[in-house]
Copies of this chain bind each other. A is one copy, B any other.
Amino acid sequence: MQVAIPLYDGMTALDAIGPYDVLGRLPGATVVFTGEWTGTVRNDLGNEVLTVEKVFAEVSSPDIVLVPGGTDVLSHVDDDAEILSWLRTVDATTTWTTSVCTGALILAKAGLLTGRRATTHWASTDTLARLGAVPVAERVVTDGKYVTGAGVSAGLDLALTLVGIIAGDQVAEAIQLGIEYDPEPPYQAGSVAKAAPELVAFVREFLKPVHPM
């Protein structure tokens, strides 16, 4: 079972690597990091730490595709971006087509979420709707073979959910224990529902230039 994770300039590294370290532990799975060119991409914090292993043309029939998001994703993925045509092509034969965070905007822009229930980063809900999907304010949303996760860190919950569906609860639990995923956030500000309204306003304002509505 091949899991393909496309990398691109402007992406958020954790969107890819969180679910990677879960899906990559699925027995029988191999992960390939793919992209438009071989070599590094420059992520949304400016580091060149992630590297494409195989270009899109070499990854033609993955079983699972997982699209990471990025802080300013739509300015990096224009209408002609190769990732869009690659996604349309491989989606025809995937078992699961998935995204984390604003990766859902890329799936939607590729036309793959039209009319489907999906989730994304909380600050990009309106953009997701504008691109034709039906936003749902849940951490992981499944609509047929399309599974989307909320912002950044939700990729862990998405990947464990997917492993449970594919390989059963015991495998998912073994991976959860293996990565000691027993979260103890030192603060309780991780969602719009839990954070103080003024904090939500502050972060929304901070993100506005890059999460255009």
Asked whether, in the complex, the Cβ of B174 is within 8 Å of the Cβ of A199, the reply is yes
A106 located at the interface, meaning its Cβ lies under 8 Å from any Cβ of chain B in the complex: no
Interface stretch, picked from A73-81, A107-115, A146-154, is A146-154
Beta-carbon contacts under 8 Å, A166-208 to B = 169-170, 172-174, 176-187, 189-192, 194-196, 199-200, 202-203, 206-207
A131 located at the interface, meaning its Cβ lies under 8 Å from any Cβ of chain B in the complex: no
Asked whether, in the complex, the Cβ of A48 is within 8 Å of the Cβ of B40, the reply is no
Rounded to whole Å, the gap between the CB of A98 and the closest CB of chain B is 14
Complex CA distance for A31 and B46, rounded to whole angstroms:
9
Rounded to whole Å, the gap between the CB of A22 and the closest CB of chain B is 9
Q: Tell me the number of copies of this protein.
A: 2
Asked whether, in the complex, the Cβ of B18 is within 8 Å of the Cβ of A47, the reply is no
Rounded to whole Å, the gap between the CB of A77 and the closest CB of chain B is 20
Complex CA distance for A31 and B195, rounded to whole angstroms:
27
Asked whether, in the complex, the Cβ of A173 is within 8 Å of the Cβ of B153, the reply is no
A33 located at the interface, meaning its Cβ lies under 8 Å from any Cβ of chain B in the complex: yes
Give the number of residues in A that approach B within 8 Å (Cβ atoms). 67
Measured between beta carbons, the chain B residues less than 8 angstroms from A25 are 45
Rounded to whole Å, the gap between the CB of A3 and the closest CB of chain B is 11
Asked whether, in the complex, the Cβ of B156 is within 8 Å of the Cβ of A183, the reply is yes
Mind listing 10 A-B residue pairs with CB under 8 Å?
A18-B18, A32-B47, A33-B49, A50-B50, A140-B186, A151-B179, A157-B186, A161-B186, A173-B199, A182-B190
A residues within 8 Å of B by Cβ?
12-14, 17-18, 20-21, 24-25, 30-33, 40, 45-51, 53, 101, 121-122, 139-140, 150-154, 156-157, 160-161, 164, 169-170, 172-174, 176-187, 189-192, 194-196, 199-200, 202-203, 206-207
Q: List 10 other contacts, CB 8 Å, given A20-B49, A153-B156, A157-B184.
A: A17-B49, A33-B47, A40-B51, A122-B180, A174-B199, A176-B195, A177-B195, A177-B203, A181-B183, A183-B190
